[in-house]
């Protein structure tokens, strides 16, 4: 993926000591972990909803308590963006998001929101809210949650697979339709709430490079469901989040993710997450910016149960997936330990989706 913030090359602050009054350790580079924002992504709050997209109220509370225990500052996405750009992020920063605006988030989450008063973002589908008022929060309920710190943002009007293009529809017509849907949802949200920073969560975390680029150009921040921390090199319309529901709700694995750092990736290939149906062997390359806090040779990638050691030609890390990607969504996670902060890992995820023979895949 191409990044427009430019490649920021970090100088190695190597101080050579020839004088006797040099500070201790001045012969070694000054290392500091890269700062970023870890975003948690939720859907339902409840115990009678699909487990894969649910946390119970008790689990949500345990996650919020863990953020406190780990001394994280929880920021709204708007403030996170500003502080990332200004270079004023705290050492440990997190954000909290809910997709879809389910009514159970209001019913079951409200007490937890009231107790912690963390800022959070709810991404809503205005058309679905109007069609299924019992399933989704109303504008009035959303308003009440803004008193506890919620920002209300865009999840498209009707929650479809944004990259699906009907036969005969040109790429240009497809893109115009998608942007029109985003704008229609945004207009409804802005009738109810001030939203100076437009923000979109892609339904199912699915997007294409072209779509991300178009949204960036009209000033959106857009969020996926590929994991990793949001850093200064992240594309502003391809921001990662950690799913924290279902099997990802367990505290031991969530702790590692909350403590993760943004791997300084300049771009990866292939740029688009949607592969050709007949993709058999997929080779992925990741271009890393120089960084004093990680060793390139310690980058390891994970695809399902497979552990992959990338090869390094000095500019890019390259690896071939050991098996054909399945139909539907999958992702490759790459990590490397921080040198300066033990127990913290740089993390980067490459989202993939392989269509079936009709160009479709399951929700």
Q: What tokens does 226 get?
A: 């590929």
The Cα–Cα gap between 129 and 114 comes to 24
Among 34, 59, 79, 100, binds Zn ion (CB under 5 A): 100
Applying CB under 5 A, does 99 fall inside the site for Zn ion? yes
**Shortest gap between Cβ of 289 and Zn ion (angstroms)?**
32
- The CB-nearest residue to Zn ion is 99
**Shortest gap between Cβ of 8 and Zn ion (angstroms)?**
33
Applying CB under 5 A, does 206 fall inside the site for Zn ion? no
Distance of alpha carbon 85 from its chain centroid, rounded?
17
> Which residue lies nearer to Zn ion by CB, 99 or 181?
99
> Which residue lies nearer to Zn ion by CB, 125 or 234?
125
Applying CB under 5 A, does 34 fall inside the site for Zn ion? no
Closest CA to 96 of 128, 125, 61: 61
> Which residue lies nearer to Zn ion by CB, 101 or 337?
101
Q: What tokens does 240 get?
A: 């990662």
Interface mask (CB under 5 A) for Zn ion, residues 166-205, using x and -? Answer: -------------------------------------x--
The Cα–Cα gap between 130 and 16 comes to 66
Q: What tokens does 2 get?
A: 């191409």
Q: Which range, of 66-74, 80-88, 98-106, 255-263, touches Zn ion by CB under 5 A?
A: 98-106
> Which residue lies nearer to Zn ion by CB, 185 or 233?
185
**Shortest gap between Cβ of 202 and Zn ion (angstroms)?**
9
> Which residue lies nearer to Zn ion by CB, 79 or 100?
100
**Shortest gap between Cβ of 127 and Zn ion (angstroms)?**
13
**Shortest gap between Cβ of 125 and Zn ion (angstroms)?**
7
The Cα–Cα gap between 361 and 179 comes to 22
> Which residue lies nearer to Zn ion by CB, 208 or 338?
208
The Cα–Cα gap between 352 and 66 comes to 30
How many residues sit close enough to Zn ion to count as binding (CB under 5 A)?
A: 3
Q: Which range, of 28-36, 99-107, 137-145, 354-362, touches Zn ion by CB under 5 A?
A: 99-107
> Which residue lies nearer to Zn ion by CB, 31 or 160?
160
Closest CA to 319 of 295, 303, 337: 303
Q: Which helix (H) or strand (E) holds 333?
A: strand 328-337
The Cα–Cα gap between 169 and 191 comes to 32
**Shortest gap between Cβ of 200 and Zn ion (angstroms)?**
11
Q: What's the DSSP call for residue 159? A: -
Closest CA to 348 of 235, 250, 255: 235
**Shortest gap between Cβ of 159 and Zn ion (angstroms)?**
6
The Cα–Cα gap between 228 and 230 comes to 7
Q: Which range, of 48-56, 96-104, 315-323, 330-338, touches Zn ion by CB under 5 A?
A: 96-104
Cβ contacts of 46 within 8 Å, gap of 6 or more: 54, 56, 57, 104, 107, 108
User: Does residue 287 sit in helix, strand or coil?
Assistant: strand
The Cα–Cα gap between 167 and 190 comes to 34
For Zn ion, the binding residues (CB under 5 A) are 99-100, 203
């Amino acid at each position: 993926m191409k990044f427009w913030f430019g490649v920021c090359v970090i100088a190695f602050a190597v101080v050579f000591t020839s004088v006797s009054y040099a500070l201790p350790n001045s012969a070694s580079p000054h290392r500091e972990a890269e700062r970023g924002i870890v975003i948690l992504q939720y859907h339902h709050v409840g115990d009678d909803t699909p487990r894969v997209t649910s946390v119970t109220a008790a689990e949500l509370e345990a996650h919020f308590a863990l953020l406190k225990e780990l001394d994280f500052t929880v920021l709204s996405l708007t403030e996170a963006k500003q502080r990332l750009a200004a270079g004023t992020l705290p050492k440990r920063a997190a954000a909290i998001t809910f997709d879809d605006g389910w009514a159970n988030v209001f019913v079951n989450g409200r007490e937890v929101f009231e107790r912690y008063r963390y800022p959070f973002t709810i991404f809503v589908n205005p058309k679905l809210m109007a069609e299924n008022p019992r399933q989704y929060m109303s504008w009035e309920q959303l308003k009440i949650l803004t008193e506890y710190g919620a920002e209300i943002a865009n999840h498209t009007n009707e929650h479809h697979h944004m990259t699906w293009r009907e036969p005969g529809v040109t790429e240009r017509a497809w893109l115009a339709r998608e942007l029109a849907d985003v704008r229609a949802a945004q207009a409804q949200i802005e009738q109810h709430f001030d939203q100076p920073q437009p923000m979109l969560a892609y339904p199912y975390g699915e997007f294409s490079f072209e779509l991300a680029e178009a949204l960036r150009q009209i000033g959106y921040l857009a969020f996926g469901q590929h994991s990793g921390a949001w850093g200064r090199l992240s594309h502003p319309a391809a921001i990662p989040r950690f799913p924290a529901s279902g099997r990802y709700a367990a505290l031991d694995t969530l702790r590692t993710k909350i403590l993760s750092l943004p791997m300084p990736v300049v771009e990866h290939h292939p740029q688009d997450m949607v592969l050709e149906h007949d993709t058999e062997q997929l080779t992925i390359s990741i271009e890393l910016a120089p960084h004093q806090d990680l060793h390139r040779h310690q980058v390891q990638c994970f695809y399902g149960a497979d552990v992959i050691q990338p090869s390094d030609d000095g500019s890019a890390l390259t690896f071939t997936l050991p098996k054909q990607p399945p139909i539907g969504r999958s992702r490759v996670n790459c990590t490397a330990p921080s040198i300066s902060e033990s127990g913290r890992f740089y993390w980067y995820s490459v989202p993939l989706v392989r269509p079936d023979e009709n160009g479709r895949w399951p929700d």
